[in-house]
Amino acid sequence: MGSAFSDWALFEGPIYMGANTSWEVIWTLVAAACCICALVVGSRHELDAYKRMKNGR
């Protein structure tokens, strides 16, 4: 992802990596996808647990 500057003393404004590039959107989407993925996996496990209880296992 890199940086375009070589001396911190001259730098002002946003310093995070990927600033003002499409990486901001990409990482936001990745983070959102992590949340959705975890929720789907967690929900599946929860429903399986209820089914097991219903079946007396």
Partner 1 sequence: MEEQLAELAAKIAELEAAASVTNTMFAETYYYLTIPLMIIIHAGFLAYEMGASRLKNVLASGVKNILAFAFVVPTFYFFGWWVYWAFPTGITFSAGPNGISGWAYANEIALPWVEYMGPNIADNASGVFWGAFTLFAATTASIMSGAVIERIQVAGFVILAIVLGSFAWVVAAAWGWHADGWLVTQWGVHDFGAAGLVHAVAGFFALGVLINLGPRIGKFNADGSANHIGAHNLPFTVTGLMLIIVGFWGFLMACLIVPGEAWSWFGDKFATIYGTPITLSALSFNILMGFAGGIIGAWMVTRDPFWMMSGGLAGIIACASGLDIYWPPLAFAMGFAGGALLKPCAAFLEKRGIDDAVGAVTVHGTIGLFGLIMLGIWGSGYPALQGEGVPTISLIGQIVGAVVFFLLGFVPGYVVSLILKGFGLLRVGEEAEIAGLDTAKVPVAAYPEGIGASAHPAE
Question: Do residues 5 and 11 lie in contact, with contact meaning Cβ atoms separated by under 8 Å?
Answer: yes
The answer to whether 7 contacts partner 1 (rule: CB under 8 A) is: yes
Please name the residue that has the structure tokens 């079946």.
55
Question: Do residues 42 and 36 lie in contact, with contact meaning Cβ atoms separated by under 8 Å?
Answer: no
The answer to whether 16 contacts partner 1 (rule: CB under 8 A) is: yes
Gap between the Cα atoms of 25 and 28, Å rounded? 5
The answer to whether 45 contacts partner 1 (rule: CB under 8 A) is: yes
Measured from the CB atom, is 35 or 56 closer to partner 1?
Answer: 35
Contacting positions for partner 1 (CB under 8 A): 1-3, 5-9, 11, 15-19, 23-24, 27-28, 30-32, 34-35, 37-38, 41-42, 45
